[in-house]
């Protein structure tokens, strides 16, 4: 189906493969792994999202994300290794679309045991390609905490450029936080 200018011609998130990874639809069987990931303070240090208090919070979140997908508001994948496709080690996707401008936000989380191995960079390369070639995006952006150096490095490796640093533009847990925007245009992707 073609929706609001972008090509959502699938009923489920398509399976995407890289050299080492299988990006697949999240399932209810992933709930415990998602709970552990979203509850890990090291993982969530730079992510201003509410922490789940129970597995039921994750089931609710998964239902909301699925409903958003059905309304063509978001698109996401479980990150798994090809050798263990049933084990979620992270997730990546487009949590927001700006249909009028053919633009999407990208976001990702990865379990600490897999940091420093190029996994997020590899997954980002694949969904960036999918976003430009299959969805018809003109640009992709990420909003990150300025102190999250590892995330900035991943984005820069994939050709994103820093566009802005916003001072105290995000309110979370009783304080105002800065954010940075990195983006890439389809025409700049090599």
pLDDT at 1: 41
pLDDT at 2: 45
pLDDT at 140: 98
Pairing verdict, β 103-110 and 139-144: parallel
Sequence-ordered alpha helix ranges (H) in the chain: 31-39, 41-44, 55-70, 119-130, 149-157
Within 8 A by CB and 6+ apart from 86, the residues are 29, 80
- Mean pLDDT of the 38-58 span: 91
- Mean pLDDT of the 137-149 span: 96
- Mean pLDDT of the 129-158 span: 96
Would you say how long the chain is, in residues?
190
Residue with tokens 């489920």: 12
Percent of the chain at pLDDT above 70? 98
User: Is the pLDDT reported for residue 5 higher than 80?
Assistant: no
What is the Cα–Cα distance from 101 to 167, expressed in whole angstroms? 25
User: Is the pLDDT reported for residue 190 higher than 80?
Assistant: no
Q: Between 71 and 1, whose confidence is greater?
A: 71
- In the chain the domains, ranked by start, together with CATH numbers, are 2-137 (3.40.630.30)
pLDDT at 3: 52
User: Is the pLDDT reported for residue 157 higher than 80?
Assistant: yes
User: Is the pLDDT reported for residue 44 higher than 80?
Assistant: yes
- Mean pLDDT of the 103-129 span: 97
- Mean pLDDT of the 153-182 span: 95
Residue with tokens 């990195």: 182
- Mean pLDDT of the 79-94 span: 97
Percent of the chain at pLDDT above 90? 79
User: Is the pLDDT reported for residue 4 higher than 80?
Assistant: no
User: 48-52, 134-138, 161-165: which has the minimum mean pLDDT?
Assistant: 48-52
Q: Which two tokens stand for residue 143?
A: 């909003």
Report the half-sphere exposure of 32 (CA within 13 A, side-chain side). 3
């Amino acid at each position: 189906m073609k929706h609001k200018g972008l090509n959502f011609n699938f009923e489920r998130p398509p399976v995407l493969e890289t050299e080492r990874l299988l990006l697949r639809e999240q399932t209810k069987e992933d709930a415990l792994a998602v709970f552990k990931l979203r509850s890990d303070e090291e993982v969530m240090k730079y992510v201003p999202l509410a922490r789940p208090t129970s597995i039921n919070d994750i089931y609710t979140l998964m239902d909301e994300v699925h409903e958003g997908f059905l309304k063509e508001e978001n698109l996401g994948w479980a990150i798994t290794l090809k050798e263990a496709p049933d084990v979620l080690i992270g997730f990546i996707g487009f949590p927001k679309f700006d249909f009028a401008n053919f633009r999407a936000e990208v976001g990702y989380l990865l379990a600490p045991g897999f940091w420093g191995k190029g996994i997020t960079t590899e997954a980002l390369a694949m969904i960036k390609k999918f976003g430009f070639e299959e969805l018809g995006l003109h640009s992709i952006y990420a909003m990150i905490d300025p102190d999250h150096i590892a995330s900035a490095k991943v984005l820069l490796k994939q050709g994103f450029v820093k566009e802005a640093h916003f001072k105290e533009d995000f309110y979370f847990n009783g304080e105002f936080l800065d954010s940075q925007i990195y983006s890439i245009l389809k025409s700049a992707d090599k």
